[in-house]
């Protein structure tokens, strides 16, 4: 079932233009002039219930604008949007009760209240049944490691602690759908890992639909199955992550480990003589063979090596998303 439908979404911001100098300031006050900034040109996509979608793009591409429209925070200039059966901006009161939203740069908790009191307040706002509240609190505290600071006021939390508390708060009412706008920005590796694991858990165990923006490809790879890429207000790619990887790169790496008794340089020579792969020594017992999957197959490559040498292990490495996305952007025409 489609949980998000977006067609021809357009958003224009009206930006006041000020002429320089005092006279200019006065003139802008008397007769303000505006210029129009098109943040979203004509964006469309459908998202099915239970999907986990990464929404990518450079700074200013229009990601946060899209999330604000989908969560009902602001209205669109044109197009059609339906989320969870609602028109987000028009039905925003009912809409927000059924979704979770986390904006990395802003907290949804109360600054002066201890975390646990914020959670309590959210629980009564959303009328969460007591048993569900207790279960979620227990599970979230464990997964997001909240125990040490549940009784600390939000304003005293570090960024990573606040972010984890925010996530828990936004999801206590078991929303079917969650929007996360840069939930890991500025977090250390541990906090990032906790956030990723938590969101993945909700998606996989509870079927929560996830719509996530992040500049960290490891978040996208760790959480999402599908990728939508936006470039200056237009969608330029929309596909499963595995398919993107498969389609856009033909290069693969095979890491081969050999026993102590085998000379890795001999193995490199064997590969170069018998295949079109290119090989480098990684260590005393390990080599990396880079090959084009269109012209060399893994069984062939492994077979060539094994006919002449004993091997302990081999591992096929997929290309990483970071370099693929970088390539997608490099191939785009530059700004006029």
**Chain residues in the site for ligand ATP (CB under 6 A):** 13, 15, 37, 39, 57, 59-65
- Among ligand ATP, Mg ion, none, what binds residue 24 when CB lies within 5 to 8 Å by partner kind? none
71 binds Mg ion (CB under 5 A): no
Smallest gap from Cβ 63 to Mg ion, in A, equals 5
Q: Between 61 and 301, name the residue whose CB sits nearer to ligand ATP.
A: 61
Nearest CA-CA partner of 117 in 149, 144, 164:
149
- Among ligand ATP, Mg ion, none, what binds residue 136 when CB lies within 5 to 8 Å by partner kind? none
Cα separation of 144 and 167, whole Å? Answer: 9
Q: Between 18 and 37, name the residue whose CB sits nearer to ligand ATP.
A: 37
Q: Where are the beta strands (DSSP E) in the chain?
A: 2-17, 33-48, 52-56, 78-83, 99-103, 177-181, 209-213, 226-231, 234-240, 251-257, 278-283, 286-292, 313-317
Q: Between 105 and 327, name the residue whose CB sits nearer to ligand ATP.
A: 105
5-13, 62-70, 189-197, 250-258 -> range binding Mg ion (CB under 5 A) = 62-70
64 binds Mg ion (CB under 5 A): yes
Cα separation of 250 and 295, whole Å? Answer: 9
How many residues in total does the chain contain?
336
Q: Do the Cβ atoms of 161 and 147 come closer than 8 Å?
A: no
Q: Between 35 and 284, name the residue whose CB sits nearer to ligand ATP.
A: 35
Cα separation of 275 and 295, whole Å? Answer: 10
61-69, 97-105, 106-114, 272-280 -> range binding Mg ion (CB under 5 A) = 61-69
Smallest gap from Cβ 66 to Mg ion, in A, equals 9
Give the residues lining the site for Mg ion (CB under 5 A): 63-64
């Amino acid at each position: 079932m489609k949980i998000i439908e977006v067609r021809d979404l357009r958003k224009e911001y009206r930006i006041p233009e000020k002429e320089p100098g005092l006279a200019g300031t006065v003139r802008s006050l008397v007769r303000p002039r505006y210029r129009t900034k098109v943040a979203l040109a004509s964006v469309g996509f459908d998202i099915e219930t239970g999907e986990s979608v990464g929404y990518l793009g450079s700074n200013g591409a229009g990601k946060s604008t899209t999330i604000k429209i989908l969560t009902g925070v602001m209205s669109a200039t044109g197009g059609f949007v339906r989320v969870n059966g609602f028109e987000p901006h028009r039905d925003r009161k009912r809409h927000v009760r059924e979704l979770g939203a986390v904006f990395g740069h802003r907290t949804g908790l109360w600054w002066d209240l201890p975390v646990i009191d914020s959670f309590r307040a959210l629980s009564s706002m959303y009328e969460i049944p007591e048993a569900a509240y207790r279960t979620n609190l227990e599970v979230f505290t464990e997964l997001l490691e909240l125990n040490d600071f549940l009784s600390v006021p939000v304003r005293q939390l570090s960024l990573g602690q606040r972010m984890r508390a925010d996530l828990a708060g936004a999801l206590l009412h078991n929303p079917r759908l969650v929007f996360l706008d840069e939930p890991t920005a500025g977090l250390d590796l541990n906090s990032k890992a906790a956030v990723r694991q938590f969101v993945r858990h909700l998606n996989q165990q509870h079927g929560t639909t996830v719509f996530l923006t992040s500049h960290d490809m490891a978040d996208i790879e760790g959480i999402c199955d599908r990728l939508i890429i936006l470039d200056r207000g237009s969608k330029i790619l929309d596909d499963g992550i595995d398919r993107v990887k498969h389609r856009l790169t033909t290069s693969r790496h095979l890491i081969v480990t050999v026993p102590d008794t085998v000379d890795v340089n001999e193995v490199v020579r064997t590969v170069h003589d018998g295949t079109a792969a290119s090989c480098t020594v990684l260590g005393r017992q390990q080599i990396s063979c880079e090959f084009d999957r269109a012209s060399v197959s893994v069984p062939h490559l492994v077979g060539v090596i094994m006919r002449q040498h004993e091997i302990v292990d081999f591992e096929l490495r997929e290309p990483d998303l970071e370099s693929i996305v970088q390539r997608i952007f490099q191939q785009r025409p530059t700004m006029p």
